[in-house]
Amino acid sequence: MSTPLIPVILCGGTGTRLWPLSRASYPKQYWALGGSGDDTLLQQTQQRLEGLEDLANPLVICNEDHRFIVAEQMRQIGIKPSAILLEPMGRNTAPAVAIAALQATSRGEDPLLLVLAADHVIRDGAQFRTTVEAGRAAAEAGQLVTFGIVPTAPETGYGYIEATAPLQAGTLSPTPIARFVEKPDRAKAEGFLATGRFTWNSGMFLFRASAMLAELERLAPEVVSCCRAALEQDAADLDFRRLDKSAFARCPNVAIDVAVMEQTQLGAVLPLDAGWSDVGSWSALWDTSDKDSEGNVLRGRVISEGSSNCYLRSEHRLVVGLGIDNLVVVETDDAVLVASRDQAQNVKRVVGQLEADGSPEGKAHRRIYRPWGHYTGVMEGSRWQVKRISVKPGASLSLQMHHHRAEHWVVVRGTALVERDGEEQLVGENQSTYIPMGCHHRLSNPGRIAVEMIEVQSGEYLGEDDIVRFDDVYGRSDQKSIAS
């Protein structure tokens, strides 16, 4: 039997170039992109592994604000991760890899780790699995294998990996790495492709946990010491492991390429030709998506007539494209993007401007996800606001109170169990209840269908941080962040 293979799925990143869909509160890896189905990029990352030999349950590393999103999306595809490790802040890929290696070897075992980003598209899953299996022997022998993407053009937006010898088409054996090169200009990129030795840097790796950990100890000891302390002082949180914030904050912010791969003598590159994309922009998503006969990618409620080479996406309202060409049009609940496809990469600058202005559209959608369901902002005034709340079957909000607002609840679907100052009542469709300021209250769904409810808040302050929690089945304390 070969060595167990543990996928390590890294869920960091906010994907700002895919705004207005991808935002900090709900980044691109949690959206259905790059395919015709409903599976998210995270779910696709896990599903394309099916069929690999001795595959173990994944180890997922994510921002603590996204923990319930990750758990729910894994549950939807029938996967229970071996652990979901929560980073209190982003520290790049070297600390994430160190955490994974330390976690994997904590019980004296030494599995292979397959490090993957949760936000990549790979169209040929069979070829991807074949390539992974081809790197197994080298990884078991102690090499640090990285998967280099076979270039299709002299791209200037990717880093490159140079092998010590030309890479033959279809080769399935790792070749020692000569060097890593940062994003080149076009002339250099064209020269790279002419040599036959260069691939794009995908950020995917395969190695023995002990081999990577030893190189990290040798080349980046501070990363290992901080990560070890963060793990040793971690806290259990339901099915999650919350890394110690103060220890992790001391960890250097560095990529695994810089910390190890550019310095090690154990690095080897294995060419991957499987329809890969990092979905780094709307134009890249158009490139990798299935198109109609006119070259259009259409998603959601879209009508297109006489249009060509466009990406048209609707999340809510109808989008109609008439006689347009080479455009990206993306509609969400609170913003619409219209851009020339060759300018779509500049969306990141718009997000920076929104964040600088303090605009909520820069970071969050109107729909905010919680472990019990979600709520959507509908309308607001100077001392009032209206929300639409959806509570999953069997789920329950925390027992809480507010200092500055009162709430009216109207159930429009399902049956809610409402607790007010220790007394419980069932509230059915077209019935309502009132939650006065200072009242200890809880909303639960005892039924088998989602409870849909309209909430009208009124008071001098309506911020989400006006919540004092007394009891919560999800282990949350009061005054948590927007995605908790």
CATH code, domain carrying 422: 2.60.120.10
Residue 353, in any domain of the structure: no
**Does residue 344 sit in the same domain as residue 423?**
no
- Residue 225 has what DSSP assignment? H
Residue 196, in any domain of the structure: yes
Residue 88, in any domain of the structure: yes
Residue 360, in any domain of the structure: no
DSSP state string for 25-68? TB-GGGS--SSSSS--HHHHHHHTTTT-TTBPPPEEEEEGGGHH
**Does residue 208 sit in the same domain as residue 180?**
yes
- Structure tokens that stand for 420 in this block: 């007010």
Boundary (domain end) residue, out of 277, 301, 331? 277
Residue 483, in any domain of the structure: no
**Does residue 102 sit in the same domain as residue 230?**
yes
Residue 386 is predicted with a pLDDT of: 96
Q: Please say whether the beta carbons of 354 and 361 come within 8 A.
A: yes
Boundary (domain end) residue, out of 277, 295, 328? 277
**Does residue 97 sit in the same domain as residue 37?**
yes
**What would the pLDDT profile of 109-161 be if each residue is shown by its tens digit?**
999 999 999 999 999 999 999 999 999 999 999 999 999 999 999 999 899 99
Q: What is the span of the domain harbouring residue 423?
A: 367-471
**Does residue 341 sit in the same domain as residue 371?**
no
**Does residue 344 sit in the same domain as residue 467?**
no
**Does residue 132 sit in the same domain as residue 226?**
yes
Residue 362, in any domain of the structure: no
**Does residue 170 sit in the same domain as residue 255?**
yes
Query: Residue 253's closest CA among 114, 120, 96, 146?
Result: 96
Which segments in the chain show pLDDT lower than 50?
479-484
Residue 215, in any domain of the structure: yes
The CA distances from residue 43 to 55, 84, 97, 121, 229, in Å, are 16, 15, 20, 11, 31
Q: Please say whether the beta carbons of 340 and 325 come within 8 A.
A: no
Residue 480 is predicted with a pLDDT of: 42
**Does residue 271 sit in the same domain as residue 303?**
no
Residue 480, in any domain of the structure: no
197 Cβ contact list (under 8 Å, min separation 6): 162, 163, 164, 165, 166, 167, 178
**Does residue 169 sit in the same domain as residue 261?**
yes
Boundary (domain end) residue, out of 292, 316, 348? 348
450 Cβ contact list (under 8 Å, min separation 6): 373, 390, 391, 392, 393, 413, 414
**Does residue 333 sit in the same domain as residue 263?**
no
CATH number at 238 reads 3.90.550.10
**Does residue 290 sit in the same domain as residue 258?**
no
Residue 12 is predicted with a pLDDT of: 85
Structural domains of the chain, count? 3
Residue 482 is predicted with a pLDDT of: 35
**What would the pLDDT profile of 104-117 be if each residue is shown by its tens digit?**
998 889 999 999 99
Query: Residue 119's closest CA among 221, 34, 242?
Result: 34
